[in-house]
Amino acid sequence: MSNARVAAGRLRKRLGAMAGILSAVAVLAAAAGAVAASGSLPGPTSERVLDLPLADVPAGRATAVCTEPARLLEGTPVGTDPQFSPVSGSAKSFLNAVVLSGKEGALPGSRITSLAGQQEAEISKPPASTATPVAGAPALKAGVVAQRPVSATDVVVAEALGNQQPAMAALMHYGATDGDLRGTAAAACQAPANDFWIVGADTTVGRAAVLDLKNASGTPATVSLDLYGSKGQVQAAGSRGLLVSPGTTRSVVLAGLAAGEPSLAVHVRSVGGPVAGTIQQSTLRGLTPGGVDFLSPGSPPSVRQNMTGVEISDTGSLGSKSGFQDAVPVLQIAVPGAADAVVQVKLSGNNGQKSLPGGGVVTAKGGSVTQVPLTGVPAGSYTVTASSDVAIIASVRVTKGNKAEDPLDFAWSPAAVRLGSQHVVAVPQGAEAQLRFGAPDGRAKISLSPITADGAVRKADTLDISGGTTATVKVPDKVEGAAVVGYVVSAAGDPAYGAVVLGRDGRNDIAVAAIQPGAAGQEKVPVVLGY
């Protein structure tokens, strides 16, 4: 082949390649023009976002996990896993549970089970069919279990009824007249959660604090504990990755994680299954019992915390004696953040507000627990309000007794939720029971309907509370011949808070249980669709 022909062939190939490139460029340019044109023109009418109304989330089963009876630590535990010995023969524990009917007047199916889910007692049978709403509000009625003896962990379960969240409450009540755990203790059964705080533990000499973590779900829970003491956060080996298997309890002796702490706050966080938690706190001064209590979670961190059910008694000079520093009333404030908190403390009593000596303004160090003595305040019933510039958690210790040689008792009142339209409150028999309500700022009106052992919800009484005061209602043994086992409590007006206060005639016994949140209304979630 001649050189001319070879050169011509190569030229034709190059021209073909260039033509292909130019064609591609033209196609790209056309596409770019089309994109630019589409950007300058209104989009097709089919490209729009539809906002649907809020979608209803179906109501679910309500679960409340109860603490088990107080147990005595045996010897000095090694590490954090406890060993227990029997308590005195006089110790008795009872469970009281109340479940309310729904809007149609029917009771939801409800029962008491073990922690592992085996049914132990029926509270109310499920209705044969969903009732049809009728004109007017049907009369409320209740399913009741009263004074049921307790030897282990109980779980109260109520099913949803007609897509309504069931309203219920349960209380475990312990009492002993002798032994190292002499005294009265009570704890409201609680809904499991993945995040909560408990304030008031003491791990100094003669004090025992045992954290019980209970998993009533079918999912394993991995729990981490953040510990805050009087000198800052406590870094403790063994406080992370605690496995709580489904249907089991894991007990942790807090002295094994943070020994010698007079004021300890515990932040419980779980991954996986939610857990319920209480701290059994007891005191023994030599051979003299110093009291027992169940410390329960309070309101989550907030710039304002309200503790009602605070009974301040005259302790004389008891707090100045060696070993009796914790035998006086005190407010404990835990600050989870690094910034210090400036806190204003106010006490609302029967006759109005009282001030702490010094004006009641304190600085609580960030990342630690601060104690604010409530001494110097006249004896009486109070609601304690702590207002801060940063989020805090708070609880109040109350004590009973003023003689070092006598058995004493104490109780912790955690921060309470604001009362709303319907709360169920369970109360025990055989103890002096009072309902305590506080309105720290404005006026509030409280409606109280007794629930009796026959399941009847009796006629409501109304209680008007002036701003800055606390009011007390003594729970009668009977109403119209039937034993009182609980109340339906509703509040209107300005914020009000409530608690159950228990004692025993002629003894230095005291226990406090905050009124639990009411049944949540039907939840709704936003749904957004686009195409």
In single-letter form, the type of residue at position 350 comes to: N
Determine contact, residues 66/187, Cβ cutoff 8 Å.
Answer: yes
pLDDT for residue 87 is more than 50: yes
pLDDT recorded at residue 15: 39
Please compute the mean of the pLDDT values over residues 446-467 and round it to a whole number: 96
What DSSP state is assigned to residue 262? S
Q: What is the pLDDT of residue 57?
A: 60
Rounded CA separation 142/309 (Å) = 26
- Give the model's confidence band at 12: pLDDT under 50 very low, under 70 low, under 90 confident, else very high: very low
CA distance 510 to 85: 24
Cα dihedral sign for 351, 468, 417, 264? negative
Q: List the chain domain ranges.
A: 55-129+137-316+327-514
Query: Judging by DSSP bridges, how do beta strands 232-234 and 183-188 pair with one another?
Result: unpaired
Q: Judge whether 269 and 287 are in contact, CB under 8 Å.
A: no
Does the pLDDT at position 326 exceed 60? yes
pLDDT, greater one: 18 or 373: 373
Q: Are the C-beta atoms of 275 and 198 separated by less than 8 Å?
A: no
Output the CA torsion 223→224→228→233 (10° steps): 170
Which pLDDT tens digit goes with each residue over 354-392?
A: 888 888 999 999 999 999 999 888 999 999 999 999 999
Query: What does the alpha-carbon distance between residue 181 and residue 176 come to, in Å, rounded to a whole number?
Result: 7
pLDDT band at 18 (very low <50, low <70, confident <90, very high): very low
pLDDT above 60 for 58: yes
pLDDT digits (tens, 9 = 90+) for 516-528: 998 765 555 555 5
Q: What integer pLDDT is reported at residue 3 of this predicted model?
A: 42
215 torsion bin: left (phi>0), alpha (psi -120 to 50), beta (else):
beta
Give the distance, in angstroms, between the CA of residue 286 and the centroid of all CA atoms in the same chain.
34
* Among 350-354, 390-394, 498-502, the least confident range: 350-354
Per residue in 252-266, pLDDT (tens digit) is 999 999 999 999 999
Output the average pLDDT for the chain: 87
Q: Closest Cα partner for 374 from 399, 343, 405, 342?
A: 399
pLDDT at residue 8 greater than cutoff 60: no
Q: What is the pTM of this model?
A: 0.86
Map tokens 């957004």 to a residue: 528
Rounded to whole angstroms, how far apart are CA atoms 463 and 498? 12
Per-residue model confidence (pLDDT) at position 384: 97
**Helix, strand, coil % (nearest 5) of the chain?**
10, 50, 45
pLDDT of residue 88: 75
Average pLDDT rounded to a whole number, residues 456-479: 96
* pLDDT value at 70 more than 90: yes
Average pLDDT over residues 139-152: 95
The one-letter amino acid code at 101 reads S
Mean pLDDT along residues 488-511: 96
Residue 2 has pLDDT above 60, yes or no: no
Rounded-to-integer distance, Cα 431 and Cα 506, Å = 11
Q: What is the mean pLDDT of residues 492-505?
A: 96
Position 358 scores a pLDDT of: 82
Length of the chain equals 531
> Under a CB-based contact definition with an 8 Å cutoff, are residues 329 and 398 in contact?
yes
Tell me the residue type at 126: P
Nearest in space to 153 (alpha carbons), one of 95, 197, 201: 95
Q: Note the pLDDT of residue 520.
A: 64
Least confident range of 122-136, 142-156, 343-357: 122-136
Between 435 and 86, residue with greater pLDDT: 435
3-state secondary structure of 351: coil
% of the chain surpassing 70 pLDDT: 84
At residue 150, the pLDDT reads 95
> Looking at residues 489-500, what average pLDDT do you find?
97
User: Which of 134-138, 246-250, 308-312, 332-336 has the weakest average pLDDT?
Assistant: 134-138
